[in-house]
Chains A and B, each alone.
Chain A
Amino acid sequence: MTAVPPTPPAAPERRRLRARSGRLPWVLVLPAVAAVAFLVLPFAGLLISAPWPDMGERLRDPEVLSALWLSLATATAATVVSLLLGVPLAWLLARTEFPGRRLVRALVTVPLVIPPVVGGVALLLVLGRNGILGTHLDAWFGITVPFTTAAVVMAQVFVAMPFLVISVEGSLRGADRRYEEAAATLGASRTTVFTRVTLPMVLPGIAAGAVLCWARALGEFGATITFAGNFPGTTQTMPLAVYMAMQRDPEAAVVLSLVLLLVSLAVLVTLRERWVNA
């Protein structure tokens, strides 16, 4: 697009025009293209090597369907739990001062850093049958957490909630605090300010955080297999099914990965359309 107006406009306007229609700066375009290639090529590898004729049959396999259903259900549950716990935590981190706030923020990001398998062992040490809390749960209520679907959700919350917290905290810090202050001077309580002003303002950040969190939960493997084990129907999510298939039949593993990929893309695209149209 080369916009050359018949009469030269005033100097500031011309500069603006050039900024909009000038050539794209290659210092940005080249790395961006490299980034896309790096992220997309592995998918292309999956797509090319997939045994497409088997796809329909695999999709009708009851074990695959139950793993897929379990994955979608647990990832969604984990996202809901993360929203209920993570948004208030993000607000505390962004909007209040309390002793040890920096430490808390650092600790919240620990699950991002440690290998998920270690996270799973840590969960076992706390909530396992002989864990610090788990012993009491077992003795007082007869509840054992490991090897249950609840354990799958807990493992996912453990690894995925930090994504939500960081994302929401970022939007809270970026939001214009004058609206909140105005509401407060007009007599709104802190809770009202949060629900009526803050929350609507950072909704896009919360949505982005929830999507990240859901996607991370959907792909969770290490903490899940360590803390919740692997049993078809109750704790075998798609990533676990993919890993197990990889042991015997790598082609089947490719098909399962693609199924997970396509379903998660479909869900995310549908949600996005709904948000955009709403």
Chain B
Amino acid sequence: MPETFPRSRAAGRRPSALSLIAAATGLSLAATACGGGEADEAGRDQEGGNLSGELDVFAAASLTDVFESLAADFEDEHPDVDVVLNFAGSSELAVQINSGAPADVFAAADTATMGQVTDDLGLDPDWAGEHGEDGALFATNTLQIAVPPDNPAGIETFDDLAEEGNDVAFCADEVPCGAATTEAMEAAGTDVTPVTYEEDVRAVLTKVELGEVDAGLVYATDVVSAGDRVEGIDFPEAEEAVNDYPIGLLSGAQNPEAGQAWIEHVLGGGGAELDAAGFGTP
């Protein structure tokens, strides 16, 4: 952006540098690491469903906190299973799966992205026959306007984002949160030109946390995960762009038994965790 404008800003509300760096590193590592090695023992223990081996779960970045906590519970329940979580933008995960990255379960941030995993590498046909071709829906997520804690630009509605002098960060169109942003913008009938189209929703959140933008469009769950580092503002147009989260067992799964158990764990026991994290129910 070539234009610059004077701003006055309250000092002393800089978020902890370490926590942000940690968050960014985690993201970059998750984005580059295509999952660990192969599951040596494909969890086929005869003793009454005892599961073992490595379980590779590819999940949308917005699921980071919930899945990490669910994985801890799961590993307590099945001590021989090692849950390996790979978080990134859903579309990137779909590309990784299509390129043969070792994945047992895929949880995407929208049904369209679940459809991007191609047929022979897509959902396990038997499993999909039982639970649906696009996976089993386990959560919904709604957009919110995230602003820095003291809301320096005084943003209250979606229309405020379009105001001159307000720097806004959006997700890029190519990723699910960007597609949802476009839908919400169409519903609002307001044309907003952001200063940046970020590569995923956490990147938008980071920009808001650092106070580099006056507002960003993120999911309600991201606002919850950011704690008091950002404030979330509901806006009615978000109802037009609710994201459904599907989860499914992949045909290439090395450890299908543990994969199925994980999916049941998320569908059955994940409700409270999902709710606490800001997700809705489908």
Q: If the complex has contacts A142-B4, A244-B199, are A128 and B194 also in contact, measured as CB distance less than 8 A?
A: no
- Closest CB in chain B relative to A117 CB, distance in Å: 4
CB interface residues, B 149-207, toward A, < 8 Å:
167, 169, 172-175, 194-199, 203, 206-207
Q: If the complex has contacts A121-B24, A247-B172, are A129 and B91 also in contact, measured as CB distance less than 8 A?
A: no
Q: Is the CB of A118 within 8 A of B194?
A: no
Q: Does A205 count as interface, using CB distance less than 8 angstroms?
A: no
Q: Does B226 count as interface, using CB distance less than 8 angstroms?
A: no
Q: Is the CB of B212 within 8 A of A129?
A: yes
- A64 and B194 alpha carbons, distance in the complex (Å): 20
Q: Is the CB of B195 within 8 A of A229?
A: yes
Q: Does A81 count as interface, using CB distance less than 8 angstroms?
A: no
| Chain B residues within 8 Å of A226, by CB | 24, 203, 206
B 7-26 binary contact with A (CB < 8 Å = 1; else 0): 11101011001001100110
| Chain A residues within 8 Å of B7, by CB | 129, 138-139, 142, 144
Q: Does B102 count as interface, using CB distance less than 8 angstroms?
A: no
- A236 and B196 alpha carbons, distance in the complex (Å): 9
A 193-232 binary contact with B (CB < 8 Å = 1; else 0): 0000000000000000000000000000010011011111
Closest to B7 in A: A138
Q: Does B89 count as interface, using CB distance less than 8 angstroms?
A: yes
A 67-97 binary contact with B (CB < 8 Å = 1; else 0): 0000000000000000000000000000000
Q: Is the contact region of chain A dominated by helix, strand, or loop, or is it mixed?
A: helix
- A125 and B198 alpha carbons, distance in the complex (Å): 18
Q: Does A109 count as interface, using CB distance less than 8 angstroms?
A: no
Q: Is the CB of A143 within 8 A of B199?
A: no
Q: Does A66 count as interface, using CB distance less than 8 angstroms?
A: no
Q: Does B27 count as interface, using CB distance less than 8 angstroms?
A: yes
- A138 and B10 alpha carbons, distance in the complex (Å): 12
Q: Is the CB of B27 within 8 A of A117?
A: yes
Q: How many residues of chain B are within 8 Å of chain A by beta carbon?
A: 42
Q: If the complex has contacts A130-B14, A138-B9, A244-B174, are A231 and B1 also in contact, measured as CB distance less than 8 A?
A: yes
| Chain A residues within 8 Å of B169, by CB | 229
Q: Is the CB of A115 within 8 A of B9?
A: no
Q: Does A59 count as interface, using CB distance less than 8 angstroms?
A: no
Q: Is the CB of B197 within 8 A of A231?
A: yes
B 202-233 binary contact with A (CB < 8 Å = 1; else 0): 01001100111000000000000000000000
Q: Is the CB of A135 within 8 A of B9?
A: yes
| Chain B residues within 8 Å of A122, by CB | 21
- Closest CB in chain B relative to A62 CB, distance in Å: 17
- Closest CB in chain A relative to B146 CB, distance in Å: 16
Q: Is the CB of B198 within 8 A of A229?
A: yes
Closest to A228 in B: B196
Q: Is the CB of A247 within 8 A of B210?
A: no
Q: Is the CB of A247 within 8 A of B92?
A: yes
Closest to A229 in B: B196
CB interface residues, A 218-276, toward B, < 8 Å:
222, 225-226, 228-232, 234-236, 243-248, 250
Q: If the complex has contacts A129-B7, A130-B14, are A121 and B197 also in contact, measured as CB distance less than 8 A?
A: no
Q: Is the CB of A129 within 8 A of B194?
A: no
Q: Does A146 count as interface, using CB distance less than 8 angstroms?
A: yes
One of A124, A139, A147, A246 near B195 (C-beta < 8 A): A147
Q: Is the CB of B28 within 8 A of A118?
A: yes
Closest to A115 in B: B28
- A118 and B32 alpha carbons, distance in the complex (Å): 14
- A246 and B200 alpha carbons, distance in the complex (Å): 13
Q: If the complex has contacts A117-B25, A120-B24, A247-B92, are A230 and B212 also in contact, measured as CB distance less than 8 A?
A: no
- Closest CB in chain A relative to B87 CB, distance in Å: 14
- A92 and B17 alpha carbons, distance in the complex (Å): 32
Interface-central residue, A121, A128, A235, by most chain B CB under 10 Å = A121
- Closest CB in chain B relative to A130 CB, distance in Å: 4
Q: 16 pairs across A/B with beta carbons < 8 Å?
A: A118-B28, A121-B21, A125-B210, A129-B212, A130-B212, A139-B8, A139-B9, A226-B206, A228-B196, A229-B197, A231-B196, A245-B174, A247-B89, A248-B91, A248-B173, A250-B95
Instruction: Taking A121-B206, A124-B212 as given, write out 19 further A-B residue pairs in contact, using a Cβ cutoff of 8 Å, ordered by the A residue number.
Output: A116-B28, A122-B21, A125-B14, A125-B20, A130-B14, A130-B210, A135-B9, A139-B7, A142-B6, A149-B2, A226-B24, A229-B198, A230-B172, A231-B196, A246-B92, A247-B172, A247-B199, A248-B91, A248-B174
